[in-house]
Homo-oligomer: A and B are copies of this chain.
Amino acid sequence: MGKTTIPTSTLQRLPQYLEVLKQLRRAGLKTVTATKISVFADVHPTLVRKDLSFTGINKSKAPQRGYDIKELYAAIERVLNWSDTSACYLVGVGHLGSALLGYQEFAQRGLAIVAAFDNDPAKIGKIIHGVTVHSALEFTTMATRNHISIGIITVPPESAQLIADIMVHSGIKAIWNFTPQKIIVPPDIIVEYVDMFASLAVLSRRLAERD
């Protein structure tokens, strides 16, 4: 059975709240109000309250003290499914792909990259940050056998569609695309982009507009 659909904008803000809670906890606090979260996360208090309502958590008994930080943290993690760990495969072991293999922040957010794939014979067989690089030709067999649901694409943009096709064919349900290439997949496949160049485009232009 599916869970409640939470709006995308809420989901995008939840990780920021986790960062705020982490820092408040580190500072020794036990409880926090929505207003305080709103100041630190730089999000309007009304939105913070709306977002937190999706966690199903109640405020602590003394309303002026707000939420119990530990409980709220756990509740947000549960909503994001970050308390469980999902195994995922990464394709494209260039600079960015290699970096992601060593990026410890993922493990804390429920994502374990358990195998990597490339078509460069010089990379196949190598172990990078503890993850073995396999031939891209092995992707389907391995992903199917291990029931892998999440695939990360870090190949050059012109190969992104081909890799996406292979992933869908191999039973991948969610694709995290780090290339600026839009990929076309069946409607039941989840696709999320980390589009650095969209962000760089805004930065470069705004700087040029300013000068």
Contact = CB atoms under 8 A, between A and B. Distances in A.
A80 B150 contact: no
Nearest to A111: B200
Given A96-B99, A99-B96, A173-B210, A15 B195 contact: yes
B80 A16 contact: no
Contacts of A2: 209-211
B176 A190 contact: no
A203 B95 contact: no
B199 A176 contact: yes
Contacts of A41: 182
Nearest to A97: B99
A101 to B, nearest CB: 8
A192 B6 CA distance: 25
A33 B103 CA distance: 41
Interface in A192-211: 192-211
Interface string A1-40: 0111110100111111001001100100000000000001
A109 B206 contact: no
A168 interface: no
A174 B207 contact: yes
B198 A13 contact: yes
20 contacts: A2-B209, A11-B201, A11-B205, A12-B199, A15-B197, A15-B200, A15-B201, A23-B158, A26-B158, A82-B204, A86-B204, A98-B99, A99-B99, A105-B197, A109-B197, A150-B203, A174-B207, A190-B207, A192-B199, A194-B196
